[in-house]
Amino acid sequence: MIKVSAPGKCHLIGEHSVVYGEPAIIAAIGKRCAVLAKKSEDVIIHSRELAAEKKYSCAETIEFANNVQKLWDSCFEKKDFSELFELMKKDGMNPVKAAIGKALVSMGVNSGVVVRISSDIPIGAGLGSSSAMSISIVKAISELYEKNLSDEQINEITLGVERFNHGTPSGGDNSTCCFGGLIWFRRIDSKITIKSLKEEIPYAMKNFILVNTGRPKRTTGELVQQVRGLPDVFRTPRIKALGNIAVEMRNILKKRDFKKMKDLMNLAQKNLAELGVSTPEIDKLTKSIMATGGAAKLCGAGGGGTVLCYHEDRERLVRTVRESGYQPMEVELGVEGVRIDE
């Protein structure tokens, strides 16, 4: 029996633009997904969040992952992942089954696993719940079957799993859940840069609050596809602007210039809203926070989900969030990545 856990994540900057080769700054958050796993002949999944339990044969699980991979390949050719997303949404267990199947195939394991999943990360809120789950499952299987894969290898397999869930993800989410801390992430074609910002930004990120505005109607993959569907001439300048904001954000965080950081967060929100991934609720909340001299931006794919809020006067921020009808979520930023828990 082994227990593995991984943190969720929160984009300080760079969601969506990261899909187009621009950089992102992403923090691991103090909410984790835990997976308790043991070897078994079959694949048995217990999910606390889905309040469900399912049993599949090992062969069936591997065949499912192989079929999902074939479907991903054909969707990639068509540049339309709708059919894949439909399949993954059809049954809440499908993403878990696919993750386990992909891990078994990638590691050449011909046996099953019992997994018990429990997570503190709100599902579908832009906080990397699926990445944290997938990375924990892949690491647990590697440890159980003594494959002793490095975190880099675990991360690579998990990116394959993330493709099943999101079509063409950047890999930023799973990398943050894997390595933890505060990371600079950039992917240009197949070249990936993952840099810890621990030395440049060694201090604790204070006065940030997360607010969950509700479960998005569309998935991350669907929202990424929606942005891709915008005319190039409209999308590209906004994506470039977000990329420039990320570069500037890294510099000003180094200098601890929080006044400028607020401007950058608000500018990012403006660009994301223009890309069509904000909602009336998020617009209202971000405007209320800006009106008090704070900053707020959506976080992750959008269409609902989490808003990252900042104000030097934390009490005031909490008050504004509450007055807007939301519950502030106080979380630590920059926590440890995937790990084996005792």
Among 136, 158, 176, 220, binds ligand PMV (CB under 6 A): 220
**Tokens for 266?**
């608000």
Q: Work out whether 95 is an interface residue with ligand PMV (CB under 6 A).
A: no
Among 7, 101, 122, 128, binds ligand PMV (CB under 6 A): 128
| SS3 assignment, position 66 | helix
Name which of residues 152 to 181 contact ligand PMV (CB under 6 A). 166, 169-170, 172-173
Pick left, alpha or beta for residue 256 (phi over 0 → left; psi -120 to 50 → alpha; otherwise beta): left
Which has the closest alpha carbon to 70: 101, 115, 41, 111?
A: 101
Closer by beta carbon to ligand PMV, 142 or else 176: 176
Minimum Å distance from CB 87 to ligand PMV? 18
Closer by beta carbon to ligand PMV, 120 or else 173: 173
Minimum Å distance from CB 220 to ligand PMV? 4
- Closest CB to ligand PMV belongs to which residue? 300
Name which of residues 9 to 38 contact ligand PMV (CB under 6 A). 15-16, 18-19
Q: Work out whether 126 is an interface residue with ligand PMV (CB under 6 A).
A: yes
Minimum Å distance from CB 29 to ligand PMV? 11
| SS3 assignment, position 55 | strand
| Beta carbons of 211 and 122 less than 8 angstroms apart | no
How far is residue 68's CA from residue 80's CA, in Å, rounded to a whole number?
14
Among 224, 249, 265, 307, binds ligand PMV (CB under 6 A): 224
Among 33, 75, 133, 301, binds ligand PMV (CB under 6 A): 301
Distances (CA, A) of 286 to 120, 154, 242, 265: 25, 36, 17, 10
Residue 192, exposed/middle/buried by CB under 10 A (0-12, 13-18, 19+)? middle
Could you give the string, one character per residue 239-278, with x where binding to ligand PMV holds by CB under 6 A and - elsewhere? Answer: ----------------------------------------
Name which of residues 281 to 300 contact ligand PMV (CB under 6 A). 300
Q: What is the CA radius of gyration of the chain?
A: 19
Minimum Å distance from CB 315 to ligand PMV? 28
Closer by beta carbon to ligand PMV, 128 or else 180: 128
The number of C-alpha atoms within 13 Å of 127 and in the hemisphere containing its C-beta is 29
Q: Work out whether 194 is an interface residue with ligand PMV (CB under 6 A).
A: no
Helix intervals (H) in the chain? 58-78, 82-90, 94-107, 129-144, 151-166, 172-179, 220-228, 232-255, 258-274, 280-291, 314-323
Q: Work out whether 213 is an interface residue with ligand PMV (CB under 6 A).
A: no
> Applying CB under 6 A, what is the total number of residues that bind ligand PMV?
15
| Beta carbons of 319 and 132 less than 8 angstroms apart | no
Binding site for ligand PMV (CB under 6 A): 15-16, 18-19, 126, 128, 166, 169-170, 172-173, 220, 224, 300-301
